[in-house]
Amino acid sequence: MKIEIHSFHSIEKFAKNEFEAGTALISIGDTDAQPPQLKHRPEFILRLVFDDISPGQIKAMHNTHAIFSDKQAERVADFVLKNKSKINTLICQCEFGQSRSAGCAAAITEYLYNDGIKIFADDLYSPNKLVYKKVLKALENKERANA
């Protein structure tokens, strides 16, 4: 499975053409943002809404933002594991394509290929560590539960 990271604008541009068969999209948006407008849609889509913040930041924001939850991490794990044999390309997308989507992509890459560090090492990205940890944990828990 090929894993790509996109921003809001790059996925809208990408979706002007048809997606190849076996393409999946995990689209991550802010709580107050509209989803990307996709002229064409990939075969599999999961939409999540949460803000790019850490647990320490949410206290300072007086709970006006949504933090990534364990339930959302489980939805990512279910989506990936349910469709993994059918997915050729998995696209993780968030507003800027640098933090939340990179954290999600890094966790999935680590789980599948033990190589999530390559996303952390790439200067284009600053993976959200909360997203990374929760998604990786959810994937590992699902694997243990199905063993």
What are the Cα distances from residue 98, in Å, to 16, 94, 106, 133, 141?
22, 8, 11, 16, 26
Work out how many domains the chain is built from and give that number. 1
pTM above 0.75, yes or no: yes
pLDDT of residue 112: 97
Contact 100, 33 (CB under 8 A): no
CB atoms within 10 A of CB 8: 22
State the residue range of the domain holding 63.
Answer: 2-146
Q: Convert 46-61 into a string of H (helix), E (strand) and C (coil).
A: EEEECCCCCHHHHHHC
Q: Which of 26, 31, 17 is nearest to 94 (CA)?
A: 26
For residue 2, give the amino acid letter: K
pLDDT of residue 33: 86
pLDDT of residue 68: 93
31 has which bridge partners? none
Phi first, then psi: what are they for 91, rounded to 5°?
-105, 125
CATH (domain of 77): 3.90.190.10
| Alpha-carbon span 105 to 147, nearest angstrom | 24
Over the chain (147 residues), the average pLDDT of each successive run of 10 is 97 97 97 92 97 68 75 98 97 97 98 97 96 98 84
